Structure 1
Amino acid sequence: MSNNQQITRRDLSVLWHPCTQMKDHEWLPMIPIRRGEGVWLEDFDGNRYIDAVSSWWVNLFGHANPRINAALKAQVDQLEHVMLAGFSHEPAIQLAEKLVELTPPGMERCFYVDNGSSAIEAALKMSYHSWRNQGYKGKHRFVTLSNSYHGETLGALAVGDVSLYKETYEPLLMEVFTAPSPDCFDREAGESWEDYSVRRFADMEALLAEHHKEISAVIVEPLVQCAGGMRMYHPTYLKLLREACDRYQVHLIADEIAVGFGRTGTLFACEQAQISPDFLCLSKGLTAGYLPLSLVLTSESVYQSFYDNYENLTAFLHSHSYTGNPLGCAVALASLEIFDQDQVIENNRQLARVMAEATAHLNDHPHVAEVRQHGMILAIEMVKDKASRTPFPWQERRGLRVYQHALSQGALLRPLGNVTYFMPPYVITPEQIRELARIATEGIDLATRD
């Protein structure tokens, strides 16, 4: 029995893995990982895999990054944790100061939580509670986009719209308004991304016009609906949405948990529309893949709506035990220092061009409907019929075939249904990107054979 098999046997006797039908592992081998370095993951048998999806979109600067490791080691000798109610510490203050400086104008207050879903929950509650404190008690509904995803706790799940995650739990969820997504995959032949996104906004405008008195906030994933198949849209939609939210007195929540920190070509996706949301949710890349940490940034005016005498009971009573954990804050600061020192955004633009060039030939593949990209996120969507864009039946799991082939060739390309995507750490090289493109092309050829 190999080392991998021994570890897997132990795993399957005690663990229940996320987002997994565990019965699959009767025939689909699990990959136990012994160590990581840079873009590489290494299993217990010595096989190596390029981590093309950044271990669920969290890793920015490679595994076991020496500079981030050093920051973590230094912090652990100083302070591992202290509650953030009534106490504070230097890493939490420094990180908040840095993020207020880097995020879009008007983001002036940081509220720490634990993970992405928790950040969404906090933002939803903040929005509703802020309106309530100002006397608008009827504003208790939220607007989401079709095909959106914001997490899997009940509040976050309610404002998402990917049926795979949401349908089972529907009876437990609050009701929301759902506007059609500006997802440009659905544009007409010859229609530009911008024109389609403008056209789709008419539906959001109508919804806000009719229901704004009961709407607390609109929540969106700026530019890329990641878990919804890496579907993408034009920044003009965000600009129109910001204007409408101001006009109808509705908050705008930007969920940049997956798309923040350089993923779309700018440090934050909202920058491409030159807008500031009322709430900005961050996690994943915040700590470069090291530790769970998230936060909500908001405006001074929202903060002031809670600032009052204790007896008026207007405080935001929301907490997590590990809120603002010093170790997480320390590695987040180290990650942001790399952005400062290494011209990361500029370097990423060159890597993004390599990605586009290396996969351009797939636009002509008979079973590829679209190759789409925003910065360091590139997605390849397989279909049964290219002309009509008829998808393969989901039960055939064609994307899983690409995944299996990629593993055999030394790459981790975990699919989203029939979508294969690249979302790699920023330390990837042009040569490694070209290798991923070769592997993905072979996998798509194999997966689309009848």
Structure 2
Amino acid sequence: MTLKERDKKHLWHPLTQHKLHPDAIAITKAKDCILTDENGNEYIDAIASWYTCMYGHCNDYITSRVSNQMQQLDQVVFSGFTHEPAIKLSEALIEILPENQNKLFFSDNGSSSVEIGIKMALQYHFNRGEKRNTLIAFEDGFHGDTFGAMSVSGLSVYNGPFADFFLNVKRIPTPNGKNLQTIITSLENIIGHNKVAGFVYEPLVQGAAAMSMHCAADLDEILKFCKKHSIITVADEVMTGFGKTGKYFASLHLESKPDVMCLSKALTGGLLPMALTTCSQDIYDAFYSDDLSKGLFHGHTYSANPLACTAALASIDLLKSETIQANIKTIIKSHEAFGQKIAQHHKVKSIRQTGIIFALDLDIKMERYGNLRDKLFNFFMNKGVFLRPLGNTIYIQAPYTIAEKQLNKVYEVIEDALEIL
């Protein structure tokens, strides 16, 4: 019996309607930018497996560091204990985070990191004797699948059945270069009728919203407004973090720095699950008290797992290396050249790029998970490229280690796909 057949017996996959999509592709091996299935077919991983394996799969430097660590300390509870991998990771991250970030809180996944950021924003005001019960978020944002994260997400395809149970959230449009004053007016109206605790946002790129992009200057003005009114700014950099926008973090493109940041995905180079919620000293100080109840009572069993911390440390070493930084610049230039070429195609409605994130919209209507989208996905896989279209949007977010020949094949397969639509 094949792995694909055995899978069907017991497994329930994420973001999958199994009656419509009964088969899963069984992957048996991954190395660098290549996935290999049980039949020996190879696929270029052009989205770094949901933006995690940015230094390639099974990166030798990361795996060797983790292998050494697991001989010494594998896991220990992080409540009341500490260890060197977590301490060294905090020191390494503070060097590359925006200068106002000073404290790190560990968890296990991106959704939880946002959940903790929301808790920080709400409890910050509560601890200071002011009850604020409203959050602000962008339309069409996506921040995860836990209830707080769902509350600030705006994509009903994921959240519809749970909407009656959400936190109180007011939504504003993303800035498009022409609507900033409209957004500011909306913000003024929101704070005039609500007690707003925080603003949760994806800086520069909204991943699940088909890589929707907005400019740093307008986002800066929104953040300045929030800070003027003591609204805690929570930057969800789960997707954008660790080099994808051309800087270590998208927030580094902005003058106004977030009070809180949410990190995961590429944090450990895709090797192990881990997340972080970082914050400024001011946020931390609101929880620092002789009153026990003012503490942040949130915890995960595997918080600051030493192996995951070691993977993250190795990943940061790679991110800062001359080789990876040069690769990022090369990918950016390659995307720019491809964009100039493909933008003229009659089936391409628009293109956009931020750092190594490239997206194009097809001039054709497609459901987010419809038959035409499936046809496109299957075409890519049959050509040996793993791309995962979002509706009528095709995007690339390949590992930094992708070879020029591999990246050119990704471009060629996208061009070929346009001819079958």
> Shared fold (TM-score greater than 0.5)?
yes
Aligned to 2:236: 255
Counterparts in 2 of 1:306-321, with a 5 A limit? 306-310=287-291, 312-321=292-301
**Gap regions ≥5 residues in structure 2:** none
- Once the two structures are TM-superposed, the CA of residue 171 in structure 1 deviates from its matched residue by 1.6
Whole-angstrom CA distance in 1 between matches of 2:383 and 2:397: 18
2:133–2:196 Cα contact (<8 Å) kept: yes
Deviations 1:343-396 (A, max 9, x none): 423431221110221243321222221111101111111133xxxxxx345575
Match of 1:428 among 402, 406, 410: 402
Aligned to 1:222: 203
- Once the two structures are TM-superposed, the CA of residue 338 in structure 1 deviates from its matched residue by 1.0
Q: Is 1:410 paired with 2:384?
A: yes
Whole-angstrom CA distance in 2 between matches of 1:67 and 1:350: 22
1:401–1:443 Cα contact (<8 Å) kept: no
Aligned to 1:152: 145
Deviations 1:109-146 (A, max 9, x none): 00111100000111111111111111112x12100000
- Once the two structures are TM-superposed, the CA of residue 30 in structure 1 deviates from its matched residue by 2.4
Q: Is 1:166 paired with 2:162?
A: no
Whole-angstrom CA distance in 1 between matches of 2:395 and 2:214: 16
Query: What secondary structure, in the 3-state scheme, does the structure 1 residue paired with 2:65 have?
Result: helix
Aligned to 2:414: 440
Q: Is 1:121 paired with 2:115?
A: yes
Q: Is 1:179 paired with 2:169?
A: no
Counting aligned pairs with the same residue, the percent is: 32
Whole-angstrom CA distance in 2 between matches of 1:108 and 1:197: 34
Deviations 1:168-216 (A, max 9, x none): 211221221011122x4xxxxxxxxxx33635543454345524x6100
Aligned to 2:192: 210
Match of 1:198 among 174, 177, 180: 180
1:238–1:270 Cα contact (<8 Å) kept: no
Q: CA RMSD in A?
A: 1.6
Whole-angstrom CA distance in 2 between matches of 1:197 and 1:41: 43
Aligned to 2:321: 341
1:226–1:258 Cα contact (<8 Å) kept: yes
1:147–1:228 Cα contact (<8 Å) kept: yes
Query: What secondary structure, in the 3-state scheme, does the structure 2 residue paired with 1:24 have?
Result: coil
Whole-angstrom CA distance in 1 between matches of 2:181 and 2:225: 15
Deviations 1:15-60 (A, max 9, x none): 000001112334xx42111111100000111110000011111111
The TM-score with structure 2 as length reference comes to 0.96
Query: What secondary structure, in the 3-state scheme, does the structure 1 residue paired with 2:101 have?
Result: coil
Whole-angstrom CA distance in 2 between matches of 1:143 and 1:239: 15
Match of 2:2 among 2, 6, 24: 6
- AA partner of residue 305 (structure 1): A
Query: What secondary structure, in the 3-state scheme, does the structure 1 residue paired with 2:21 have?
Result: helix
Q: Is 1:103 paired with 2:77?
A: no
Query: What secondary structure, in the 3-state scheme, does the structure 1 residue paired with 2:240 have?
Result: coil
Q: 1:85 to 1:38 in 2, by over 3 A?
A: same
* Count of residues paired in the alignment: 421
Whole-angstrom CA distance in 1 between matches of 2:179 and 2:245: 17
Query: What secondary structure, in the 3-state scheme, does the structure 1 residue paired with 2:419 have?
Result: helix
Q: 1:73 to 1:443 in 2, by over 3 A?
A: same
Whole-angstrom CA distance in 2 between matches of 1:296 and 1:89: 18
The TM-score with structure 1 as length reference comes to 0.90
Query: What secondary structure, in the 3-state scheme, does the structure 2 residue paired with 1:426 have?
Result: coil
Match of 1:326 among 306, 330, 336: 306
1:197–1:233 Cα contact (<8 Å) kept: no
